[in-house]
Amino acid sequence: MAEIDFERRLERLFSDAPAFSDESAFAARVEQRLDRGWNMRRWFIGAAGLAGGVIGASQLIMSNFVQRVEDASEGSSRILQAGIAQARPGMDLFAMVQSDWTVVWIASGLAVLAMGFVLTRVIEEI
């Protein structure tokens, strides 16, 4: 068993650590190294995301995405209209929706809004 006097003396030595003359410079260097690592990681992650977004957008453009969206929207609209016509014979679905592009514009607006939130977060972190 350890002696109580020794334990108390050891606790005092650790609680009253001597101050060094360069402690503020040392702390600043450590914080700078930690911040530099995180900033580099953020830049790498952002660059990878940007590259992935550009590649994804180019793939969508090259795969005739707009035509596929129009076809899918037109087909789903016909199915919905047929289903509603069976449930309520006098109701016209196209009277409620202005155009097939409404969904695309709403999705684009939400994407722009999300990018705005990401941009404000990045600016806040810098």
State the residue range of the domain holding 33. 22-63
Q: What is the mean pLDDT of the chain?
A: 76
Whole-number pLDDT of residue 75: 65
Of residues 55 and 80, which shows the higher confidence score? 55
Specify if 75 maps to a domain.
yes
Q: Residue 38 has which token pair?
A: 């995180």
Considering the domain architecture, whether residues 75 and 125 belong to the same structural domain is answered as yes
Considering the domain architecture, whether residues 72 and 95 belong to the same structural domain is answered as yes
Give residue-wise pLDDT tens across range 60-103.
777 766 666 666 666 666 666 666 666 555 555 455 555 556 77
Whole-number pLDDT of residue 18: 75
Count of domains observed in the chain? 2
> How would residue 51 be classed by pLDDT, with cut points 50, 70 and 90?
very high
Q: Cβ distance 77 to 93 under 8 Å?
A: yes
Considering the domain architecture, whether residues 73 and 126 belong to the same structural domain is answered as yes
Q: Cβ distance 97 to 110 under 8 Å?
A: no
Q: How far apart are the C-alpha atoms of 74 and 29, rounded to whole Å? A: 61
Residue in the structure block whose two tokens are 């580099």: 40
Residue 107 CB neighbours (<10 A): 11
Whole-number pLDDT of residue 72: 66
Beta strands (DSSP E) in the chain are: none
Question: % helix / strand / coil in the chain, to the nearest 5?
Answer: 85, 0, 15
pTM: 0.32
Whole-number pLDDT of residue 108: 84
